Structure formats: C-alpha cells, structure tokens
C-alpha cells in the first residue's frame, strides 16, 4: 500500500472532547494500547432481513442458524481481514488477533503508530477531575481499505457507559423475609408476574455484560441460600484483559451482583456467563461481540444494564453495536437492555456531554434490535399486585428512561404501535423505547446482597436481567430460543394481550397511556401469556440443533 495513498474519513468516527474537558498534553509517543478495527460483513446487514433471519415472520416459519452457519454467510471475508492485517503491519502495528464471526481485527501498537495509521492526534484530557486518553475529529484510513472499515475503537478510552442502577438506603435485614417496605426478592417478583412456575432455566445460558465491578462467590452462595435456591453456576469471561474485580458495596459491584442475583433468582438452573470488559467503546463492543458469538457458553439471552444518552456516542459506535445486535437477532439470541434511570432527558451527570434540556433515548437500549426495558413502581396487597405505575421519583435523576430515538428510524414492527413524535424540535418519529417494563423504583426494588451487605437496589438495570431470566424460562419451555421477539409482541397476537398495561404516570416529556407508550412500552410482564405467545410457533430444526450441539 503506497505511503502516499489518499485517505478517506471513516464514516461516523468524528469525536469531540468530553464536556468541560481540556487537553493537558500529548500522549507519550511510546505509550502502548490496543485497538479494535471493525470489518464489514461478508453479506450486508440488510441481507439478513431479506433472507428472513431477523424474525419478521411467524414462529412456524423461523429458520434457526448456528453460529458456524452465521460466520460462513455473514462474518467478515477472510480476504478483507487479511487486507486490514497488511495495512496494520505496514504501520508497525502488531496483529494480536482477528475474528471473522465478530468482524474484528485486534491491533496493538504505540500512540505514534496509531496516529500515523489512522490520521488522528492523541492527547490526554482532563474533565471534572478525571483524565482520559482521547482524540477529536474524525479517523481516516487509506482509500484502498476505506470500504472495508466500519469503525475504529480504543484510541479514545473515556468511559463509554453508566450502570443504570440506584440504591435505596435501608437497614440490613434478612433477604428471606416477605417484601418489607415494598422491596422484593426475584422469586417473589417472578410469582407476582406469573413467570412459568414449572421452569428453572435448565439448559439455558444467560450472558451478562459488565463494564466494571465484580462478584464474590461467597456472596452468591449466601444470597441464594437465604432465599431458598441452589447456588447458580456463574462463569467469568474475561474480555480485553478485564477481570472480575470486586471492591466494595458502593462500587459497580452493585450492578454486577444485581444482575446475577436477579437473572439467576428467576432462572436458578440457568448457566450465568458474566463478560467483564473495560468501560470504553472498544471494551463494550468487544464484550458484546464475544457474548453473541461465544461458541462455548452459547448464551440464548444477553442482559446489558449499561448505557448512555445517544448524544454521547459516535455514530460509528452505534452502527457497529446495532450491527452486532442484528447478528444476535439472526442467531435468535435475545438482547435485553436497560432504558436508563434519568427520565426522558437521560442526562446522567457523569455521562459526558453537558445537559441540553432535550429528550434523549438511551443507547444501546434504543437499538431497534434489542428488547429495551423500562421501569415501574409496584405495590402489592395480599400477595398480589395492587398497583403499578411509571417509575418517576425525580424526572431528571430517578425515573425510567424512554422516548424516541434521534438516530434510528421507526422500525417496521412499530408502525402501528402509536409511537409519538419526538418531544424535541423537529417532531420526527424514530424508534420508540422502551418495548417492555418491570419494577425499577428503588423504593419498590430488589433485595440484594453486595460485598457482604444486604440492601435494596432498583433502576432499569434490574429490569433487563429480570426479562432475561423470563426469556430463559420461556426458551426452556418452548424448546427453542425466543430470539428477536419484536414482531410477535408488536403483532396482532402480542401487545395488549400479553402484558400488564401501565397507564398511570410519566417520565418527563412522555406520558403513559393505554397500549404502547414511551414510558413503559407495552407494560410489565405476564409470564404465562408471553409463554403462550411463544408456544404458538415452531421449534428449532433438528439439523440446526444437532449442528449447534456438535459445535459446527
């Protein structure tokens, strides 16, 4: 590749410094780090829908594919991967790995080498007392490979996402007790929401993506013993050298333990695979691609409780993440994402950009290929649900996310759902979120154990693993993965007939109403009705099941 090759901008790679950030000096020329280059698919994303793999068909017509089949048809072309590897070596970069199924090439090098290879300047920035390695402006590559490169991740290592959980201060208590002050254990919620009582998640794997924190095996054992369930099988999967690193109950450990305890609390026999990755756009993307294409653990459902407002992401990141969620849909892996905990504005003070007073959907929940999970406040009487409304203690700091995407257009499955025009100037109609909901208010939250301390945690972070657990139970009962369920729940046999409709409350710019709304989607789960809906379809083909079991 000639040194004087003309260069082209990688579409969507433009990046600005964090709010109030100031450059404090260039990165040392010999500082080493790793970068992920996203390579185009062998077949474009649109081809997946055209071939009927995204589930825009009735269950009886589903065609299940194995991960190996997907890689052969839709992974990166080895010839394209080889071209990226050659480009890297010409710039002195080391190729530390490549994955055609994950459409990724992993590179290692110095700051000077990455600056030359990708036409950018790398500096250290300080923002709000924290420093990060960053860049501004676009990334460029030689035009000979420009059509192959969908994104470049890892040059900038600012935090990519925030965990969507909130603690409720409360004296320690016995988590076996009946709901005290409105808080619940996961099995109690499973019973209230009518989850299949004769299923335990056997044979299913739930993947959980974490960008920090950790768990202690002793805490998991103590928690499940206290609620009368067997200790679940939990596996740590390290991504980009991240580790299971528990510290204290006030850290991201709260997110990790909440996710594990909720998912396994409703599906105790399911295998829980926790994918730990650094909290960067590279780490987040690498964890997602690893989990979706994990041929060893083979999760049938993935829970993601981390996110940020769409405005805080680059377009290359959103496009690459959504591309992987399309891959998950093709593989019939359900991805459950939290809707956010700061109302319709989604203005997390640690999220990045300065508040602008506009409405924002939270990403990755706003991807049209994930099941976005909003939040409610739940009260009970006599062991039954007495009332349920939109979670909104504070529309700016403690309320369910939800709204209309500024990035993703209205998907076909939502055309008849009544998605409103955006509350922002311009009044466009985009992807509406959330799709579904569940209890999230920390005042009516989940009893958990974190680093030896017992308490109550809420937030839409809890709703994603709750739904992941329910999907695992349904997968077990149906004998096939539910996968991309949107066409079913938005179709004529879903929607109002399957969910507990939430019609009271709002999240700031949007209000609940009968049917789908931009606060709680279709509503909270009725497990028995969802299972019945999923049982109306076909089952995985014997050929696909045999191939998957053989690891082909």
Please give the positions annotated as active site: 255, 259, 461
Contact 156, 115 (CB under 8 A): no
Cα separation, 235 vs 232, in Å, equals 10
Give every CB contact of residue 44 below 8 A, 6+ residues apart in sequence.
none
Both tokens assigned to 536: 């109306």
- Reference 406, options 314, 319, 310; nearest CA is 310
Q: What CA–CA distance (Å, rounded) separates 112 from 539?
A: 53
Identify the CA nearest to 106 among candidates 366, 289, 317: 289
Exposed, middle or buried: residue 2 (CB in 10 Å: 0-12, 13-18, 19+)? exposed
At residue 67, φ and ψ (nearest 5 deg) are: -65, -35
**Placement of tokens 């053989």 in the chain:** 550
Q: How many CA atoms lie within 13 A of 54 on its CB side?
A: 22
Q: Any idea what DSSP says for residue 419? A: P
Dihedral (Cα; 398, 400, 404, 405), 10-degree rounding: 80
- The tokens for 467 are 């739904």
Could you tell me if 435 and 372 are in contact, meaning their C-beta atoms sit under 8 angstroms apart?
yes
Take residue 203 and report the two structure tokens written for it.
């044979």
At 387, list the tokens: 């009332």
Take residue 299 and report the two structure tokens written for it.
Answer: 């999760």
8 Å CB contact between 297 and 235: yes
Supply 91's token pair.
């710039």
Close Cβ partners of 120 (under 8 Å, ≥ 6 residues apart) = 114, 135, 137, 138, 139, 140, 155
DSSP 172: -
């Amino acid at each position: 590749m000639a040194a004087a090759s003309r260069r082209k901008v990688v579409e969507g790679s433009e990046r600005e410094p964090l709010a109030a950030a100031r450059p404090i000096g260039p990165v040392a020329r010999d500082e080493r780090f790793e970068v992920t280059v996203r390579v185009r698919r062998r077949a474009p994303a649109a081809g997946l829908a055209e071939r009927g793999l995204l589930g825009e068909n009735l269950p009886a017509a589903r065609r299940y594919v194995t991960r190996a089949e997907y890689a052969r048809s839709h992974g990166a072309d080895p010839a394209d991967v080889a071209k990226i590897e050659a480009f890297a070596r010409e710039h002195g970069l080391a190729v530390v790995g490549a994955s055609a199924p994950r459409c990724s090439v992993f590179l290692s090098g110095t700051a000077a080498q990455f600056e030359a290879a990708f036409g950018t300047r790398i500096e250290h920035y300080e923002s709000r007392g924290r420093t990060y390695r960053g860049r501004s402006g676009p990334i460029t590559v030689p035009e000979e490979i420009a059509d192959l490169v969908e994104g470049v991740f890892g040059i900038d290592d600012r935090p990519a996402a925030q965990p969507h959980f909130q603690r409720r201060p409360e004296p320690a208590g016995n988590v076996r007790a009946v709901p005290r002050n409105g808080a619940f254990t996961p099995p109690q919620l499973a019973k209230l929401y009518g989850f299949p009582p004769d299923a335990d998640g056997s044979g299913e794997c739930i993947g959980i993506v974490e960008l920090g924190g950790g768990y202690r095996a002793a805490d998991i054992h103590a928690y499940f013993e206290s609620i009368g369930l067997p200790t679940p099988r939990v596996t740590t999967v390290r991504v980009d050298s991240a580790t299971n690193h528990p510290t204290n109950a006030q850290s991201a450990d709260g997110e990790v333990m909440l996710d594990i305890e909720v998912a396994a609390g409703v599906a105790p026999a399911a295998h829980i695979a926790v994918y730990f990755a650094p909290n960067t756009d590279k780490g987040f993307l690498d964890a997602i691609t690893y989990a979706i294409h994990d041929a060893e653990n083979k999760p049938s459902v993935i829970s993601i409780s981390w996110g940020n407002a769409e405005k805080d992401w680059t377009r290359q990141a959103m496009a690459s993440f959504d591309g992987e969620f399309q891959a998950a849909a093709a593989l019939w892996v359900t991805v459950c994402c939290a809707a956010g905990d700061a109302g319709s504005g989604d203005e997390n003070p640690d999220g990045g950009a300065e508040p602008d007073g506009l409405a924002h959907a939270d990403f990755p929940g706003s991807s049209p290929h994930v099941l976005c999970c909003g939040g409610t406040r739940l009260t009970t009487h006599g062991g039954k649900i007495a009332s349920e409304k939109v979670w909104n203690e504070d529309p700016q700091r403690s309320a369910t996310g939800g709204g209309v995407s500024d990035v993703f257009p209205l998907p076909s499955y939502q055309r008849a759902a009544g998605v409103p025009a955006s509350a922002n100037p311009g009044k466009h109609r985009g992807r509406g979120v959330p799709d579904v909901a569940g209890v999230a208010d920390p005042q009516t939250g989940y009893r958990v154990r974190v680093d030896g301390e017992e308490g109550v945690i809420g937030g839409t972070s809890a709703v994603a693993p709750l739904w992941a657990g329910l999907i695992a139970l349904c997968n077990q009962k149906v004998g096939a993965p539910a996968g991309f369920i949107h066409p079913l729940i938005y179709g004529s046999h879903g929607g109002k007939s399957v969910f507990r409709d939430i019609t009271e409350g709002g999240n700031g710019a949007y209000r609940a109403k009968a049917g789908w709304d931009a606060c709680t989607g279709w509503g909270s789960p009725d497990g028995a009705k969802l299972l019945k809906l999923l049982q109306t379809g076909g089952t995985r083909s014997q050929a696909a099941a045999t191939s998957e079991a053989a690891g082909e």
